[in-house]
A and B are shown apart, each in its own frame.
Chain A
Amino acid sequence: GAGVSQSPSNKVTEKGKDVELRCDPISGHTALYWYRQSLGQGLEFLIYFQGNSAPDKSGLPSDRFSAERTGGSVSTLTIQRTQQEDSAVYLCASSSPGTGGSGNTIYFGEGSWLTVV
């Protein structure tokens, strides 16, 4: 696609429910990132996928969080048993490292705004 696409753009869920957030990266981009941003705060790294390599999950805050990337393209971030502190914007980004020059320029989607009530 022309850009990184995320869905849903907004999600309100009840505490304790599971949610799934989807990211469709730019076509051909091998690297995919998930970040979380709480209101007025910086970007918190969650997980990084690069090609067929094992993902870097070092930023996932708890075992309630998981992510997968199927076929090297679309990624889903799943939050189980949501808590109020999970409320934030979840941002997905993609890039194409190793293509030389500014190949690792990162492009962000518009985010999924999650509110846990």
Chain B
Amino acid sequence: GIQVEQSPPDLILQEGANSTLRCNFSDSVNNLQWFHQNPWGQLINLFYIPSGTKQNGRLSATTVATERYSLLYISSSQTTDSGVYFCAVESGGYQKVTFGTGTKLQVIP
């Protein structure tokens, strides 16, 4: 099956700093989503982005499907951004969604 790797696995930021999280996938995908899991375990969908670029406030995401990667940008980070960020992909003619390994982000004041 498709492999989804995220980097870095762990990241510590000072509040106000910017960061880039990366998601690499081993095969072509039909869609890609980014999720944030807060410290209480709740998973929230951030972006549905099979290709191109989207922005939502301080967050933006870019997927380059032909090169099999996606990037999540966090600008002016806040402590509430802490948690784990997952990318998830759907590939082939099949709708099973495979999650990446995750990036654990800690934003310190």
Contact = CB atoms under 8 A, between A and B. Distances in A.
A45 B96 contact: yes
Interface in B78-99: 86, 88, 90, 95-99
Interface string A18-31: 00000000000001
A106 B46 CA distance: 10
Interface residues of A, number: 24
Contact of A105 (B33, B43, B98, B99): B33
Contacts, number: 50
A115 interface: no
A48 B95 contact: yes
Given A104-B48, A106-B33, A111 B101 contact: no
B88 to A, nearest CB: 7
Interface SS, B side = strand
Interface string A74-117: 00000000000000010101000100011011111011000000
Contacts of B102: 42
Given A42-B86, A43-B86, A106 B96 contact: no
